[in-house]
Structure 1
Amino acid sequence: MSKAWELFADDATIIAARVNGTLKDLSYDVAEGDEVEGVAIDSADGRDILRHSTAHVLAQAVQQLFPEAKLGIGPPIQDGFYYDFDVPTPFVPEDLAKIESLMKKIIKANQKFSRRVTTDADALEELADEPYKVELIGLKGAGTDGSGHEAAEGASVEVGAGELTIYDNLDRNGEVAWKDLCRGPHLPTTRRIPAFKLMRSAAAYWRGDEKNKQLQRIYGTAWESQEELDAHLHRIEEAERRDHRKLGRELDLFSFPDEIGSGLPVFHPKGGIIKREMEDYVRQRHIDEGFEYVGTPHIAHESLFHTSGHLPYYGEGMFPALDVDGQDYRLKAMNCPMHNLIYRSRQRSYRELPLRLFEFGHVYRNEKSGVIHGLTRVRGFAQDDSHSYCTKEQAPDEVKHLLNFMLTVLKDFGLDDFYLELSTRDDQKKDKFVGSDEDWASATKVLEDVANETGLELVPDPGGAAFYGPKISVQAKDAIGRTWQMGTVQYDFNQPAADRFNLEYIAPDGSRQQPVMIHSAKFGSIERFLGVLVEHYAGAFPPWLAPVQVQAIPVADAFNDYLRDVAQQLRKVGVRVEVDESDDRMQKKIRNAQLQKVPFMLIAGGEDVANGAVSFRYRDGRQDNGVPVADAIARVVAAVESHEQV
C-alpha cells in the first residue's frame, strides 16, 4: 500500500484523489489494482474541496473568537461556501473583518486536515455540546426527516449513509486545534488555501425550514489563485453594475409597487416597448415555425389541475383555491391543461399531427418571499408557451425542431454561448414522478439523442425533471460569463394518458392512438428573459430593442423645428425618436441621452441646417459630422433591421 499523495508528489496542483471513482483525501491508502486519478485544485471537484476546507477554517475562527457559537453546516456552493452558526447576536461587518484576519493566521499555521472514523455513539458523546451536529447524526442515512423533507440543506457534506467521520485540524505539534463532523475529503493542510474572502452574513433557517430556529450564515469565496479571486470579485462588481433591478429604475422600465404585492411587476412605457418588441418577435417566429395562436383564461376549476396531475405533484407552487359560487377555482400556474382541452375539443386525425399550439399565457406561482428576485423570480409572469402533439415516431424530429427554434431565438437576442442540460428522474424517489420505467427510458433517450446531435455540451441533471417527464434546458452565458437557464423542451407521456386527458388521434388504420405531448417555452418567461437581457446588455440594448432609438438634440432652440421635421421622417419609417427641447445645455442633453443608453443622437446646429445634415453621434461617443439627413435615417434603419449591437 502507498498513500495517494505519493503518486502525485511532483504535482503541486493536486489536492485530492479519485480512487475507483470516489473522491478521497491525499492521505488515503491506495491498494494495488486501484484506479487512481489526481484531482487538481482548479477542477470543479477541486474547487469544491478547496471551498469546503475554507469553510472549516471559517468555523474554527468563529469559534475561537465567539466561543459560545454552535455549529450548523458548512457546504461548498457555486463560486464559494458558507457556514451556519447559532450565536446570541447577528454578525456585523467588523466581526467579519476579525474573522477573516484570524482565518489568515490559521492558514499560515499550516494545520493538517486529519480524518478519523468514529461510531454514532462515540460521535454523539464527543459532540454533545454541538446540538445541531447531534441532530444530523440522528438523521444519518435517513435521507428525509420522516415528514418527506430532505434531512438537511447541505447536510451531505456532514453525514451520509455510510461510516461517520470527524476531521481534526492538527497544529504543528500534532495537537487537535479544532474538529468538525464531516464526510470530506479536504485539502492536505490549511496552507493549501491560496486565496479567499468573506463576502457577507445573513440570516438562515436551520435545515432550510422556516419553522426551525434562525441561524447566522457567513458567505465566503475561495479560489485557486489570487488572480482568480480578483477576477471573481471583479465579476461581482460588474454584476452589481448590471443589476436589472437598479437599471430598471434608472431607465424607467418597470417597478414593483408595494400596493400590488411582492413578485408582481408593472411595466412602464419604456419597458412596455421592449416587452412588446419581444412579444411581436416571438409571436411571428412561432407562426413561421408552424404554430397556431390560442388563448386561455387565468383561472379554472380546481378539478382541471387534479386531472393534469399538477395539484398532487405541484400543489405547493400554486396559489390557494378561490371560492366562486361555492366551487373551488385556481389561478393557473401552467397553460398545458387548457391546451389539452383545445386539442380534445374535437376528433383529431394523424394527418393533423404534429399539431402545434402557442400562446402568451399569464401564469401565477406561489413563490416563497425569500426567493423572489426582481424580474428573474416573480409570482406572475407570461410564458411564450407552446405544446406540440405528435405521434411517438414524430417525437424526435419535433424535439429537434423545437430545440433549433429555441437556439435561434437566443442568438437573435445576442445570446450565443450556451450548453444543454438534460434533467431526468431521480430513481431513488420514484414516488415524486409519474409513469413507468419504460416511459422514462424511452422519453429520456429521445431527448438525449437529439441533444447530442446538436454538438453542444450536454450536462446531466439527475432528479431535475418535471414530474411528468424529462426535459432539455438551454443554459446560456451572458456578457460577463454568468449562466442562466433559458428555454426548455419537455417530453410528456402523462397528460395525454387515458387516466388523465385521454387524448387521441385516429391512426391510418382507423385505430385510436395516444399522442405524445411536448412542452416548450423559448423565452421561458418574458419577464425573466427581459431581466436577463437588461443585465446582459447592461441596459444598452441593441437598436431594435431600445425604447428610444434616436435622441434628437438641437444646439439651440432655434433648431427645434428642424429636428422635429427630422424626427417625423424617422417615425414614418418606424423609428422611435424623441426631441430634447428642454432648457438644458447641449452637453447636458448629450449626457442625459448617454445615461439613458440611447443608441443614436442626431445633433443639429446652424451649419447642419444650412446643409440639410446632422451630426451623427453613437452612444459610445463616436461622432460623424455633416451626415445628410437621408443618410442618417438610412443608417439608423439599417442598424435596427440588423438586430445587431452598435
Structure 2
Amino acid sequence: MKIIYKDGVVAECPQEEELHVLRHTAAHVMAQAIKRLYPEADFAFGPATENGFYYDVDLGDTKLTDDDLAAIEKEMRKIVKENLAIKPFILPRAEAEKLMADRKEKYKVEHMADLADETEFSFFQQGEYVDMCIGPHLTYTKALKAFKITQQSGAYWKNDKDNKMLTRINGVAFRSQEELEAWEKQQEEARARDHRKIGKEMGLFMTDDLVGRGLPMFLPNGYTVWQELENYIKAKERARGYQHVMTPCVGTVNLYKTSGHWDHYRENMFPAMEMEGESYVLRPMNCPHHMMIYANRPHSYRQLPIRIGEIAHDFRYESSGTLKGIERGRHFCQNDAHLFVTPDQIKSEVAAVCDLIFEVYRDFGITDYRCVLSLRDPADKKKYHDDDAMWNHAEAALREVLTELGIEFTEEIGEAAFYGPKLDVNVRPAVGAEYTLSTCQLDFCLPAKFHLTYVDSDGTEKTPVVLHRAILGSIDRFMAYLIEETKGRFPTWLAPTQVKVLPVSEKTLEYAQSVTDKLAEAGIRVALDSDNEKIGYKIRAAQQVDRVPYMLVLGAKEAEAGNVSVRDRKGETTTMELDAFIQKVCDEIANRTHD
C-alpha cells in the first residue's frame, strides 16, 4: 500500500501503520463529503482512532438524521470512485493562517494559534478539499476500499465543556471488504450482548431523563443480582479481616481541598452546593471519608493493618457522550476499601489483595485479563501531585512487590491516580475494548495530607501507608460485565429467578402452586407462570426473555407421579423427584457453581 508523507515522499506503508493511515484518510474523505453536502460546515479535529476515525464539525443549527449519515457515506463512495490524487504542501505561518481564514476554517485558525512555536504548517489536498494535517495519507482516494459511517454524537471543542458543542461523526475503515464484514458480524454480537438491551428485556434496571441521564435505577430483578454481588464480596472481605463502614454521599469542599481532589479532579465532580455558608459536593470517591474514619482515634502499630471497606455510592459528572447504561454512569457504587498499613506490611497486604482479586475471578470464571502497573507522567505537573521523591519511592515499591509476587505485568505511563501508582487488572470482554475491573493503588500522599499517624514500636509517631483497592470495581460495572459475558444467563446462585414453574394447563395449577411453595420454603427464588398461555409460549418466555436456569414443566403425568420435568437453559429435559431437584439447586447456590 503506497502512502505519501507531508514532504511529498511516497513509500510503502509499514504493515503496523496501515489501519491508521487508512482511517486517517477516511476522515479526510468524510470531511470532503460533508463539505459538499453542507458548504457552511466548519471542521475541528478529525483523527484516526484505535477502532476507526471521526471528525468533529460545526454544522450550525443543522441536526443530522440517520438518512443524513447515509447520504454522507454515499458521497464518500463517490469521492473514492473519482480517484482523486492526495497531494501535500507546506506553507509558512502567515500564508497558512490566511489560507484557513479565507476558507472560513475558524477552528483551524484557532488551533494554529495554540501552536505558537510552529513557523510552518503542512496541508493535504484532494480535489477541492484542503485540510491542515501532518499525514501521512493514501496517495489516491480509490485506495480506500472498505469503510462505513457508524454514528454521531456530541463533542465539545477541545473537550472543554465551556466551549461549543460540535457534532462528532464516527466511522470505521479496513483493508478489505472481508475485514469490514467481519467487523459488522462482531457488532451484531455486541448488540446481542449489550447489557442495556438485555437489562431492559430482563427487567434489571431502567433510566429516565426525568430522573437524569446517567442515573440508573435498579428494578427488583436487577437489585436481586446487585444484592447477591454485595453479599458475596462482603463475605469474602469479612473473612479477610475487613471492617465495613457507611459514610455520607456528600462532603465539604474543604474535605476535597485537603485530599487534593479539588485541584486534580474538580472537572469530574458535580458543582458545589451552598448551605449555611458552607460548600458541599457529591462525593466522586470515598478516600477522604475513610481517612477521617482512621483519624477518629489514635492507633498503635499493633493494630495495623486496618482494613476499612464500603459499598459506597459515588457521583461523577461524566460527559453525556460517555454514558453507557450501568457500565458508565453518573451514579455508581464502588466495592471500595482502604488499608492502613506500615511500610513493612505493604508486600503482604498487596499480595493479599491480589489473592482476593484472582480468587474472585476464579469464582466467576474470568480468565481473559492482564495486569498493568500504572505510573504517572513526570511531565504532567497538573494531573499528578507534585512530589518527585514520593512518586519515585511509591512506584519503585509497587514494582518491587509485584515482581516479588511473580505477577506478570506491563507498565503504562500516565495512567496512575493523582496521588500514587496502581496495579490495574484489565479484563478483555467478549466484545469491545478491554477496561479496568479491579485495582490496587499505593498511596504515600493522602495519609500525609490528612496528618494520619500511628505510634510505632519505638514510641515515635509514623505516617501509615494506604492501599486503595476495589475488587469488583463498581458493582454496577461488574454487573454490566457479567450480563454481557453471559448474555444475561447468570449462574443459578446469581439469577434473579432461579426456577420458573410452568403448569401445562389449569388442571395442574394446584400441583404447580404446591411445588412453587416448597421451592420457596427451601430459599430458592421461584416464580409461578399461571398465565393462560400455551406451554410453548411459556417455555420461550422463560428461556429467551427471563433466561432462568431451570424450568419445571408440570403436566398431568408429573402431577400424578408427584415429580417434576426439569428443563434447563440448553433445552435438555430430565424427570426428577422434587426433593432431588431442590437439593441440586441448593447445592449450586451454596457452591456458587458457574457454567
Structure 1: which amino acid aligns with 2:76? M
Q: Secondary structure of the residue that 1:432 maps to in structure 2? A: coil
**Aligned mates of 2:7, 2:355 — CA distance in 1:** 45
Q: Does 1:167 align with 2:124?
A: yes
Q: Is the 8 A contact 1:26 1:188 kept in 2?
A: no
Distance 1:603-1:15 versus aligned 2 partners, 3 A rule = farther
The answer for the alignment partner of 1:512 in structure 2 is 461
Structure 2: which amino acid aligns with 1:397? S
**Aligned mates of 2:20, 2:385 — CA distance in 1:** 34
**Aligned mates of 2:66, 2:347 — CA distance in 1:** 55
**Aligned mates of 1:201, 1:256 — CA distance in 2:** 21
Q: Over residues 411-440 of structure 1, what are the superposed CA-to-partner deviations in whole Å (9 max), with x where a residue is unaligned?
A: 423432112333322322213321421211
CA shift for structure 1 position 476? 1.0
**Aligned mates of 2:345, 2:13 — CA distance in 1:** 45
Please show how residues 363-402 of structure 1 align to structure 2 within 5 Å: 363-402=314-353
CA shift for structure 1 position 450? 4.6
Distance 1:448-1:191 versus aligned 2 partners, 3 A rule = farther
Q: Does 1:597 align with 2:547?
A: yes
CA shift for structure 1 position 293? 1.7
Q: Secondary structure of the residue that 1:640 maps to in structure 2? A: helix
Please show how residues 1-400 of structure 1 align to structure 2 within 5 Å: 28=9, 39-40=14-15, 43=16, 45-87=17-59, 89-128=62-101, 129=103, 130-140=105-115, 164-169=121-126, 178-400=129-351
Unaligned runs of 5+ in 1: 1-11, 17-23, 31-36, 143-160, 170-175
**Aligned mates of 1:341, 1:541 — CA distance in 2:** 39
CA shift for structure 1 position 451? 4.8
The answer for the alignment partner of 1:155 in structure 2 is none
Q: Secondary structure of the residue that 2:326 maps to in structure 1? A: coil
Question: What's the C-alpha RMSD, in Å, of the aligned pairs?
Answer: 2.8
Q: Secondary structure of the residue that 2:148 maps to in structure 1? A: strand
Please show how residues 577-592 of structure 1 align to structure 2 within 5 Å: 577-592=526-541
Structure 2: which amino acid aligns with 1:281? Y
Q: Secondary structure of the residue that 2:344 maps to in structure 1? A: coil
More off after superposition, 113-122 vs 47-56: 113-122
The answer for the alignment partner of 2:512 in structure 1 is 563
**Aligned mates of 2:281, 2:163 — CA distance in 1:** 30
Q: Secondary structure of the residue that 1:408 maps to in structure 2? A: helix
**Aligned mates of 2:86, 2:418 — CA distance in 1:** 42
The answer for the alignment partner of 2:483 in structure 1 is 534
When the two structures are superposed, what TM-score results if normalisation uses the length of structure 1?
Answer: 0.84
**Aligned mates of 1:100, 1:180 — CA distance in 2:** 19
Distance 1:90-1:454 versus aligned 2 partners, 3 A rule = farther
**Aligned mates of 1:162, 1:293 — CA distance in 2:** 60
Q: Is the 8 A contact 1:475 1:486 kept in 2?
A: yes
More off after superposition, 101-110 vs 436-445: 101-110
Structure 1: which amino acid aligns with 2:237? H
Q: Over residues 181-206 of structure 1, what are the superposed CA-to-partner deviations in whole Å (9 max), with x where a residue is unaligned?
A: 11222234434433211113344443
**Aligned mates of 1:167, 1:73 — CA distance in 2:** 14
CA shift for structure 1 position 255? 2.1
Q: Over residues 112-155 of structure 1, what are the superposed CA-to-partner deviations in whole Å (9 max), with x where a residue is unaligned?
A: 4444333212211232212221221111157xxxxxxxxxxxxx
Distance 1:511-1:522 versus aligned 2 partners, 3 A rule = same
CA shift for structure 1 position 642? 4.5
Q: Is the 8 A contact 2:294 2:452 kept in 1?
A: yes
Question: Which residue of 563, 570, 573 corresponds with 1:613?
Answer: 563
**Aligned mates of 1:71, 1:304 — CA distance in 2:** 42
CA shift for structure 1 position 322? 3.9
**Aligned mates of 2:86, 2:400 — CA distance in 1:** 44
CA shift for structure 1 position 483? 2.1
**Aligned mates of 1:581, 1:385 — CA distance in 2:** 42
**Aligned mates of 2:182, 2:402 — CA distance in 1:** 32
Structure 2: which amino acid aligns with 1:193? L
CA shift for structure 1 position 555? 1.6
Q: Secondary structure of the residue that 1:502 maps to in structure 2? A: coil
Question: Which residue of 484, 493, 516 corresponds with 1:544?
Answer: 493
Q: Secondary structure of the residue that 1:551 maps to in structure 2? A: strand
Q: Is the 8 A contact 2:148 2:171 kept in 1?
A: yes
Distance 1:141-1:240 versus aligned 2 partners, 3 A rule = farther
**Aligned mates of 1:489, 1:227 — CA distance in 2:** 41
Structure 2: which amino acid aligns with 1:168? Q
Unaligned runs of 5+ in 2: none
CA shift for structure 1 position 26? 11
Distance 1:296-1:96 versus aligned 2 partners, 3 A rule = closer
The answer for the alignment partner of 1:479 in structure 2 is 430
Alignment identity in percent?
38
More off after superposition, 350-359 vs 98-107: 98-107
**Aligned mates of 2:164, 2:256 — CA distance in 1:** 35
Q: Is the 8 A contact 1:313 1:432 kept in 2?
A: yes
**Aligned mates of 1:319, 1:97 — CA distance in 2:** 37
Q: Secondary structure of the residue that 1:534 maps to in structure 2? A: helix
CA shift for structure 1 position 530? 1.7
Q: Secondary structure of the residue that 2:343 maps to in structure 1? A: coil
CA shift for structure 1 position 355? 1.8
Q: Secondary structure of the residue that 1:334 maps to in structure 2? A: coil
Q: Over residues 253-273 of structure 1, what are the superposed CA-to-partner deviations in whole Å (9 max), with x where a residue is unaligned?
A: 222345543333322221111
Q: Is the 8 A contact 1:15 1:188 kept in 2?
A: yes
Q: Is the 8 A contact 1:25 1:187 kept in 2?
A: no
Q: Over residues 345-393 of structure 1, what are the superposed CA-to-partner deviations in whole Å (9 max), with x where a residue is unaligned?
A: 2322223222211111222233344443321222322211101111223
The answer for the alignment partner of 2:572 in structure 1 is 622
Q: Is the 8 A contact 2:153 2:321 kept in 1?
A: no
Distance 1:419-1:191 versus aligned 2 partners, 3 A rule = farther
Q: Is the 8 A contact 1:415 1:477 kept in 2?
A: no
**Aligned mates of 1:391, 1:28 — CA distance in 2:** 60
When the two structures are superposed, what TM-score results if normalisation uses the length of structure 2?
Answer: 0.90
Q: Secondary structure of the residue that 1:234 maps to in structure 2? A: helix
Q: Over residues 509-537 of structure 1, what are the superposed CA-to-partner deviations in whole Å (9 max), with x where a residue is unaligned?
A: 22222111110111221122222322222
CA shift for structure 1 position 617? 0.5
Q: Over residues 292-319 of structure 1, what are the superposed CA-to-partner deviations in whole Å (9 max), with x where a residue is unaligned?
A: 2222233334332222222232233333
**Aligned mates of 2:157, 2:94 — CA distance in 1:** 23
**Aligned mates of 1:585, 1:406 — CA distance in 2:** 46
The answer for the alignment partner of 1:149 in structure 2 is none
Q: Does 1:458 align with 2:431?
A: no
More off after superposition, 370-379 vs 433-442: 370-379
Distance 1:208-1:318 versus aligned 2 partners, 3 A rule = closer
Total equivalences in the alignment = 590
Structure 2: which amino acid aligns with 1:106? I
The answer for the alignment partner of 2:584 in structure 1 is 635
**Aligned mates of 1:571, 1:296 — CA distance in 2:** 35
Q: Secondary structure of the residue that 2:35 maps to in structure 1? A: helix
* Structure with larger RCO (C-alpha < 8 A, sep 6+): 2
CA shift for structure 1 position 549? 0.4
CA shift for structure 1 position 69? 3.0
Distance 1:537-1:218 versus aligned 2 partners, 3 A rule = same
Q: Is the 8 A contact 2:375 2:411 kept in 1?
A: no
**Aligned mates of 1:572, 1:15 — CA distance in 2:** 71
